[in-house]
């Protein structure tokens, strides 16, 4: 019996198990305080994120419209009928194609933000004001930004006037009225507005990088581009993961720019998934079908987020 006790006490983890099960009073107090601090955020997540996601998923399995909402008829269970209807929904495929094309703004935006962060990561007089100037569009309302750029994109707007004066174009261009240009014009507004936000994320990542890495690379004879490619970018991978994931989600959920600037036109060229969900849910009041569209969009967001994590999960100082 005593020998068995000695053997069990010698096993690895035999002493760790009681410590996990029985925390000291100080450890319990620390854990409780930590959860109390997290409680408001957890409540907000539960009310505004987890509950809507669960309710929307259940709602996608029912025929639920305005008459159901007003109590004029009961909700009817239809199972996967809404998802089967997506296969023949022409507007769904148009919205999906436009949304996937919109995601192309993400790598351009991230690369431009990294270059801008490298440019402002210097100790120069007035550099703080320069950084603040790039952040002003971030805190500006999207409605204001959309109206401003819609005015700039007019055929008699400043952009056409400047290009005509420089001789770049022969006649005014209908930036938002041309089906081949409208989506890219809206994408540029997204890029312009988000540049300062992601610049701050990358600037924080750059300032956390020890200058010893760059100095060692310079002593080995590396040029600026080699240092940027082989030292700076690998160390920025944690920041790239955060920024690219946020940017991808924002691109898949783009709505305000489209609603203010084009209204989904011309000829559905800027008709995105989120805009289609809004149209089905709040214009046609087919809440069940809109919920099914939202479930598909959520699945796409999770899939692309998983791709971001798979590509950029290794990085930072652990890269070396």
Q: What confidence score (pLDDT) does residue 314 get? A: 65
- Residue partners of 231: CB distance under 8 A and separation at least 6: 213, 214, 217, 222
Q: What confidence score (pLDDT) does residue 16 get? A: 45
Q: What confidence score (pLDDT) does residue 1 get? A: 47
pLDDT above 80 for 159: yes
- What's the pLDDT tens digit per position in 245-266? 999 999 999 999 999 999 998 9
pLDDT band at 317 (very low <50, low <70, confident <90, very high): very low
Domains of the chain with CATH codes? 2-53 (no CATH), 89-319 (1.10.3720.10)
Q: What confidence score (pLDDT) does residue 230 get? A: 86
**pLDDT above 70 as % of the chain:** 91
Contact call for residues 313 and 241 (beta carbons, < 8 A): yes
Average pLDDT over the chain, rounded to an integer: 88
32/17: higher pLDDT: 32
Is residue 281 classed exposed, middle or buried when 0-12, 13-18 and 19+ CB atoms within 10 A define those classes? middle
3-state helix, strand, coil in the chain (%, to 5): 75, 0, 25
Contact call for residues 127 and 120 (beta carbons, < 8 A): yes
Q: What confidence score (pLDDT) does residue 320 get? A: 44
- What's the pLDDT tens digit per position in 46-70? 999 899 999 999 999 999 998 998 8
């Amino acid at each position: 019996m005593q020998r068995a006790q000695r053997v069990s006490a010698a096993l690895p983890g035999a002493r760790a198990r009681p410590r996990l099960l029985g925390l000291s009073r100080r450890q319990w107090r620390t854990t409780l305080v930590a959860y109390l601090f997290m409680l408001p955020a957890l409540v907000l997540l539960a009310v505004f994120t987890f509950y809507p996601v669960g309710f929307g998923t259940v709602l996608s399995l029912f025929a639920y419209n305005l008459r159901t909402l007003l109590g004029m008829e009961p909700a009817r269970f239809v199972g996967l009928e809404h998802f089967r209807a997506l296969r023949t929904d022409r507007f769904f495929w148009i919205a999906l194609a436009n949304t996937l094309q919109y995601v192309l703004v993400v790598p351009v935006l991230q690369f431009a933000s990294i270059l801008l962060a490298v440019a402002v990561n210097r100790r120069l007089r007035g550099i703080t004001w320069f950084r603040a100037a790039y952040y002003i569009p971030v805190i500006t309302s999207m409605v204001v930004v959309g109206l401003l750029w819609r005015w700039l994109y007019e055929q008699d707007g400043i952009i056409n006037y400047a290009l005509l004066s420089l001789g770049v174009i022969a006649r005014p261009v209908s930036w938002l009225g041309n089906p081949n240009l409208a989506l890219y014009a809206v994408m540029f507004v997204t890029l312009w507005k988000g540049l300062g936000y992601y610049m701050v994320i990358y600037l924080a990542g750059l300032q956390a990088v020890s200058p010893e890495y760059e100095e060692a690379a310079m002593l080995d004879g590396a040029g600026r581009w080699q240092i940027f490619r082989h030292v700076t970018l690998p160390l920025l991978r944690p920041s790239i993961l955060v920024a690219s994931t946020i940017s991808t989600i924002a691109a898949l959920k783009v709505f305000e720019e489209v609603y203010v600037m084009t209204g989904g036109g011309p000829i559905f060229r800027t008709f995105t998934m989120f805009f289609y969900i809004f149209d089905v849910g709040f214009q046609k009041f087919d809440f069940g079908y809109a919920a099914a569209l939202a479930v598909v969009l959520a699945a796409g967001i999770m899939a692309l987020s998983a791709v971001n994590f798979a590509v950029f999960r290794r990085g930072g100082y652990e890269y070396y």
